[in-house]
């Protein structure tokens, strides 16, 4: 892991550059693996969002027009800055460049948050399951730091699956930091159950989220009853294939999909569009 950061009163390299529309300044960049990094930027004063929502961010393209992509805000609604957790797609129009940002640089951030992975889209329940692969963790990095999550639910289960152990590290550190967090550590207490797994490398827990749900392994490992519509709520964020497979499993458990306009028992959002790099 490599990290670079700057305090906001440090000299800004961005001052010599043209000012971007809806510009925000990068304050910290951390590279987790060859294909994953996270970064923090200043937050527009006017930006209000619900933990779990996404915004459009980007850079100026070679044609001088904004090159924007959807990004889940990984920081909670109360944070003074905004955090993002990103893939590096080698030939990706945006991330082939975004991966080189440094503290002091500017990015474009359109202050219009939207999304379905919000508490308002779910009916009250006893437990909430956050189900993610890869960078699909990002909205849950926000929701795991959101007080409302622990006020609304007795237990919060974070299932995150990646191919390798290194790809889990951003989430692992975040979960570990919550216990001692001065703002929400007490609220989190022992409510948060973290269940990371790998599929292409040995680890203490392995296997796809889907397989660990259908086999009942995750329920046995965590000492929980099988999911049921009376008690369990879920939010899902991964590739299209993952989302489709998980949706079917949740429906087989008797849960119904909801939306902002029709709160039900689970909600789904794509972590990216497309099916291969």
Ligand X SMILES: Cc1cc2nc3c(=O)[nH]c(=O)nc-3n(C[C@H](O)[C@H](O)[C@H](O)COP(=O)(O)OP(=O)(O)OC[C@H]3O[C@@H](n4cnc5c(N)ncnc54)[C@H](O)[C@@H]3O)c2cc1C
Ligand Y SMILES: NC(=O)c1ccc[n+]([C@@H]2O[C@H](COP(=O)([O-])OP(=O)(O)OC[C@H]3O[C@@H](n4cnc5c(N)ncnc54)[C@H](OP(=O)(O)O)[C@@H]3O)[C@@H](O)[C@H]2O)c1
**Footprint of ligand Y (CB under 6 A):** 35, 133-134, 161-163, 199-200, 208-210, 239, 241-242, 245, 276-277
- Which partner from the list ligand X, ligand Y, none does 24 bind, CB cut-off 5 to 8 Å by kind? none
Residue 72 as a binder of ligand X (CB under 6 A): the answer is yes
Q: Segment 86-115, which members bind ligand X (CB under 6 A)?
A: 86-87, 89, 92-96
Q: Which residues of 134-151 are buried (b: 16+ CB within 10 A; e: fewer)?
A: bbbbbbbbbbbbbebbbe
With contact defined as beta carbons under 8 Å apart, do 203 and 165 qualify? yes
- Which partner from the list ligand Y, ligand X, none does 92 bind, CB cut-off 5 to 8 Å by kind? ligand X
Tokens of 252: 């087989």
With contact defined as beta carbons under 8 Å apart, do 268 and 243 qualify? yes
The residue (of 8 and 241) whose beta carbon lies closer to ligand Y is: 241
The residue (of 226 and 277) whose beta carbon lies closer to ligand Y is: 277
Residue 266 as a binder of ligand X (CB under 6 A): the answer is no
Residue 140 as a binder of ligand X (CB under 6 A): the answer is no
With contact defined as beta carbons under 8 Å apart, do 236 and 267 qualify? yes
The residue (of 15 and 96) whose beta carbon lies closer to ligand X is: 96
Residue carrying structure tokens 């967090």: 181
| Helix residue spans in the chain (DSSP H) | 95-98, 138-143, 147-152, 169-178, 185-188, 209-214, 217-222, 240-252
Q: What residues line the site for ligand X (CB under 6 A)?
A: 54, 69-72, 85-87, 89, 92-96, 134-135, 138, 269-277
């Amino acid at each position: 892991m490599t990290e670079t950061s700057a305090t906001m009163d440090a000299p800004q390299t961005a001052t010599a550059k043209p000012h971007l529309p809806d510009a925000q300044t990068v304050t910290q960049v951390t590279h987790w693996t060859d294909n994953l990094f996270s970064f923090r930027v200043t937050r527009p004063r006017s930006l209000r969002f619900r933990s779990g929502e996404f915004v459009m961010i980007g850079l100026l393209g070679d044609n001088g027009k904004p090159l924007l992509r959807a990004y889940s805000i990984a920081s909670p609604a109360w944070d003074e800055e905004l955090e993002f957790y990103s893939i590096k797609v080698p030939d990706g129009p945006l991330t082939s460049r975004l991966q080189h940002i440094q503290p002091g640089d500017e990015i474009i951030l359109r202050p219009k948050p939207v999304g379905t992975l919000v508490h308002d889209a779910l009916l009250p329940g006893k437990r909430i399951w956050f189900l993610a692969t890869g960078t699909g963790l990002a909205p849950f990095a926000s929701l795991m730091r959101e007080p409302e999550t622990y006020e609304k639910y007795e237990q919060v289960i974070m299932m995150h699956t990646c191919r390798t152990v290194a790809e889990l590290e951003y989430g692992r550190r975040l979960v570990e930091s919550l216990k001692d967090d001065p703002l929400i550590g007490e609220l989190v207490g022992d409510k948060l159950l973290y269940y990371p797994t790998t599929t292409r490398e040995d680890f203490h827990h392995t296997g796809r989220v889907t397989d660990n749900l259908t086999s009942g392994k995750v329920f046995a490992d965590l000492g929980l009853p099988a999911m049921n519509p009376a008690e369990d709520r879920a939010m899902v964020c991964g590739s299209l294939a993952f989302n489709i497979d998980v949706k079917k499993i949740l429906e087989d458990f008797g849960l119904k999909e909801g939306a902002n306009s029709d709160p039900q028992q689970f909600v789904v959002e794509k972590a990216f569009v497309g099916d291969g790099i």
